[in-house]
Amino acid sequence: MTTGNSHRNGGVSFISSSSLKGIYNNNSTNTKVTTTSLTSDRQLKSTTSFSSSSSFKPKPSFRRSSTGSIAAGSSTAKDDTRGVRGRVRVAVRLRPRNAEEAVADADLPDCVELQPELKRLKLRRNNWDSDTYEFDEVFTEFASQKRVYEVVAKPVVESVLDGYNGTVMAYGQTGTGKTYTLGQLGEEDTSARGIMVRALEDILADISLETDSVSVSYLQLYMETIQDLLHPANDNISIVEDPKTGDVSLPGATLVEIKDQKSFLELLRFGEAHRFAANTKLNTESSRSHAILMVHVKRSVKGKDSALSSENGNASHVAKMLKPPIVRRGKFIVVDLAGSERIDKSGSEGHTLEEAKSINLSLSALGKCINALAENSAHVPVRDSKLTRLLRDSFGGTARTSLVVTIGPSPRHRGETASTIMFGQRAMKVENMLKIKEEFDYKSLSRRLDIQLDKLIAENERQQKAFQDEIERIASEAQKRIAEIESNYAFALEQERLKFQKEYLESTQKLQEQSVKDQGKYGNGKVDVMLKDDSIDEMSSGQSPILLAEVNEVKKLLQNETVLRKAAEEEISSLKNQVMQWKMLEAAKNSDILKLHKTLEDESHKKANLEEEIAVLQSQLLQLSFEADETRRNLGKGETEKLSGDLDSLIHQANHQLSRDFGDGTSMEKLFEQVGLQKILSLLEADDADVRIHAVKVVANLAAEESNQERIVEAGGLTSLLMLLSSSDDETIQRVAAGAIANLAMNETNQELIVSQGGINLLSTTAANASDPQTLRMVAGAIANLCGNDKLQVKLRGEGGIKALLGMVRCRHPDVLAQVARGIANFAKCESRAFTQGTKMGRSLLIEDGALPWIVQNASNETSPIRRHIELALCHLAQHDVNAEDMISARALWELVRISQDCSRDDIRNLAYKTLTSSPIFQAELKRLRIDYG
């Protein structure tokens, strides 16, 4: 089964007869992708609009309180918070004639005449008179399942993914195709898949299974009893209503978590097998119960910064650091109502008659509630039926609701057709107040704090062990060095002592030998070698010259010995000084060791303090868990607005004024009247960074509305945004400014102004310096819009626009890659258009800038928007024969063959097939590869 946002269209039929299969033709819809506007997080976002159904998409607006609703009550009226106003959207779908009608009514004209281009139908009273009715959308008998889903259900699915509740319901006479529209599984033909299968496919493609979850319940309301189709033994489920909020829940229903499309299809098959059906004159398999599919979507919101504070507004140091993640919960309900029928026409008898009575009673109760809501009645009879209790949030409540009324063409059933049309007309008058479902994920915060606490304890223990090891290492090295110094000193001292003792003995021996020689030579008796200098002089004065010379020599030897003795004494003194220095060094080491011991004691005190802080943190965590429910209620009563107002009061006066304008709930049009566009634009140059951020956000929101764009450009807003993009270093300002420029770039005149004022260079520079995926997405969206202008292709490429697009693929974020792929597809489409118009062209500029390898690499990307744009770009590039050789060498030919066979969109698949069969170069290559194609 093909997954993604785009599906293959094909012929389908409401009738099981093979002779009528294929009566629904393939109706292609022109799709244009727009850049997401920077609206408030509590406003609905719409990233895709359909030119054929633009009126079906609601325009969000604010109101102070909701009108009378099924969910209205005294408690909810007091707690009503600001929401987004949205009317119930109603579409009409005509079933083709079945085999019986083709024979019985062959000579009679259809009772209805459709005017889909005017979203209008005419119900014939007779051959010359008819009544005209207008709806949000009118589908002919040839409308495909895909188009019905994208127009009716896809906006509701997108709202559910953003955190709102949504409902899609089918109403009509038995046998007009309600179950086919909603619950067709399409196992044999994927183009026949109904809204249930396609909705779950889009939801699973958009969420992350690591952080988000999707759970499904499948029920039927049979004879005023709610039964579980996923657990048939559970056949009497009660309805529980929250007395404060009025929310309706079914706690006894089986809730199954869905991980992939295959498991969801198995659940639907299992549930359909246990649904009650019977054979009547109007339908061979008439549903005898109302089927209700409930899809619960839980999504984690990334990038939102929120801080918990105490009731008196003074946040503690720990509470400021606690930032719980925000979780959005959306509930998507698909209701396949049993057919309204007249007993005489259906031929119901016995138990089937009782079933028909129960069905008509519940549908009658639903009609009464819708009548009361349409007329703003003070009382809405919501408790007349379990069906109205289950749908109290869908009509007049807080859910975004789309209704498909199905009719048949047979003039025999004109009365039932008129009743169905009037039901849809009354439903169009019902207004809902859409409210986002957000809450803090305190369990996730608690787990995160426990992990952080464990990490701090482990890090503290590791640091203590490392510190103790370091102290032991330093002490060991000090002891080792002291022992080594003492050993070296003792050895050196002993060597010096032995040296001087040896020299002293040698000198004494020489003197004695000399004295003996002198005594034997002169015979004068002993010569006292120890005579003093003056005695030797006196004695030598009366001796011979030989004796005098010897005496002088002995005197010289004594002097040398004296010098050597003094040198030895000096060296001994130097060694003593060294010993003193070593002892001082040892004392210093001992002092360092004492300091280390003191540091160790300080660390022990710090450890004790840290343990006390951990205990405080644990106690505060317990306190926060006890206050979680009260905090959630306070936030629901509007304290969020109070906290934001308190913060804004600390900012500059201009910033406070701007925030107050939004805090009062004024619309964009009222902002024009109260503040003035020139004043808002002047704040873009304010010195206060917060003021500039607020101002550029206001301009971006204004630029999201097409009616405001011309006034913004005329007032110089585009020039101011480009200057802000070039001068500001704040990535928040750059992101918002790029988003505003992307909105303005949807207009062809504005595109030329952006290029003439150097916008391509500024966007390219911003893309090169940015790191935030959201900033890159805005810049890529702006460049992608410029790529769709035929007149700007050469200049866009010359100023580095294509290089900037290819450079942003480094981010690898799917939203950024989708915008890059859209820009490449727009650029390739313009080149293909120029080629078909006869303009002489060389090789594609995309190929020259090296985009082809990335295009081929992402032709089979799992993300459907990326894959769809890349497939379209390949088809457009292949239409020009100059590009054929490059595409063959880059293996793009294989991707074209795959697209022509397996692409889920008929228009792209047919374009690829046409290109391959019409290109002689491609045909020659396929023939060379022995591939029989065409």
In this prediction, residues 833-844 reach a mean pLDDT of 76
pLDDT at 458 over 60: yes
Contact 437, 165 (CB under 8 A): yes
Task: Please compute the mean of the pLDDT values over residues 421-428 and round it to a whole number.
Answer: 93
Task: Give percent of the chain with pLDDT exceeding 90.
Answer: 18
- Could you tell me which residues come within 8 angstroms of residue 644 by beta carbon, excluding any fewer than 6 positions away? 659, 663
Has 401 been labeled as part of a binding site? no
User: Is the pLDDT higher at 548 or at 868?
Assistant: 868
When pLDDT is averaged across residues 131-160 and rounded to a whole number, the result is 94
**pLDDT on residue 930:** 78
The pLDDT of residue 297: 94
| pLDDT of amino acid 423 | 93
Task: Report the range of poorest mean pLDDT among 70-74, 683-687, 766-770, 836-840.
Answer: 70-74
What's the CA gap between 523 and 459, in Å, rounded? 95
Per-residue pLDDT, 204: 93
Mean pLDDT of 859-864: 85
Check residue 618 and give its pLDDT.
60
Residues 353, 358, 363, 369, Cα dihedral to 10°: 150
Dihedral angle of Cα 349, 355, 360, 365, to the nearest 10 degrees: 150
Q: Is residue 19's pLDDT more than 80?
A: no
Is the pTM value of this prediction over 0.75? no
Q: Is the pLDDT of residue 109 over 60?
A: yes
CA distances, 356 to each of 125, 341, 410, 818 (Å): 28, 8, 22, 50
What pLDDT sits at residue 622? Answer: 58
**pLDDT at 544 > cutoff 80:** no
pLDDT of 673 higher than 80: no
- Confidence at 255, pLDDT banded by 50, 70, 90: very high
Judge whether 676 is annotated as a binding position: no
pLDDT at position 424: 93
Name the token pair of 899. 């697209």
Rounded to the nearest integer, the mean pLDDT of the chain is 76
Does 172 belong to an annotated binding site? Answer: yes
Per-residue confidence band for 138, with pLDDT thresholds at 50, 70 and 90: very high
574-599, pLDDT tens digit by residue?
A: 888 888 888 888 888 888 888 888 88
176 annotated binding-site participant: yes
Q: Higher pLDDT residue, 535 or 370?
A: 370
pLDDT of residue 492: 87
Provide the pLDDT confidence category of residue 35 given band limits of 50, 70 and 90: very low
Under the banding of pLDDT at 50, 70 and 90, the label for residue 157 is: very high
116-124 own/partner pairs: CB under 8 Å, 24+ apart = 116/140, 119/55, 121/92, 121/421, 123/414, 123/417, 123/418, 123/421, 124/411, 124/414
Greatest alpha-carbon span in the chain? 179
pLDDT band at 474 (very low <50, low <70, confident <90, very high): very high
Mean pLDDT, range 757-763, rounded to an integer: 88
- Whether the CB-CB separation of 699 and 722 falls below 8 Å is answered with no
Q: Tell me phi and psi for residue 910, to 5 degrees.
A: -70, -40
Binned at pLDDT 50, 70 and 90, residue 905 comes out as confident
Q: What is the mean pLDDT of residues 780-795?
A: 87
| One-letter amino acid for residue 220 of the chain | Q
What pLDDT was estimated at residue 454?
A: 85
C-alpha distance across the termini of the chain, in Å? 25
Q: Which residues contact 871 (CB under 8 A, 6 or more apart)?
A: 859, 895, 899, 903, 905, 908, 912
pLDDT at 568: 85
Say what the pLDDT of residue 188 is. 86
- Please write the tens of the pLDDT for every residue from 600-650: 888 888 888 887 777 776 665 555 555 554 554 554 444 434 433 433 433
From 282-291, 768-777, 890-899, the region with the lowest mean pLDDT: 282-291
pLDDT over 50 (residue 80)? no
Query: What pLDDT, on a 0 to 100 scale, did the predictor assign at position 1?
Result: 37
pLDDT at 253 over 80: yes
pLDDT at site 46 = 33
Take residue 156 and report the two structure tokens written for it.
Answer: 């509701």
Lowest mean pLDDT among 368-382, 568-582, 672-686, 739-753: 672-686
Average of per-residue pLDDT across 841-860: 86
Q: How many CB atoms lie within 10 A of CB 870?
A: 28
Report the run of H or E that residue 387 belongs to, with start and end: helix 386-390
- Residue 838 assigned ligand-binding role: no
What percent of the chain lies above the pLDDT cut of 70?
A: 75
Q: pLDDT tens digit string along 287-340? A: 778 999 999 999 887 654 443 343 444 444 455 456 667 888 899 999 999 877
> Per mean pLDDT, which range of 26-30, 242-246, 468-472, 532-536 is the poorest?
26-30
Helix (H) or strand (E) holding 102: helix 99-104
Residue 875 tokens read as 């088809």
pLDDT at 40 over 70: no
Residue 621 CA to residue 624 CA, distance in Å, equals 5
Read off the pLDDT of each residue in 435-445 and give the average, rounded to a whole number.
71
- The span from the CA of 515 to the CA of 527, in Å, is 6
- The yes-or-no verdict on residue 265 having pLDDT over 60 is yes
Is 177 part of any known ligand binding site? yes
Burial class (CB in 10 A: 0-12, 13-18, 19+), 785: buried
pLDDT of the residue at 906 = 85
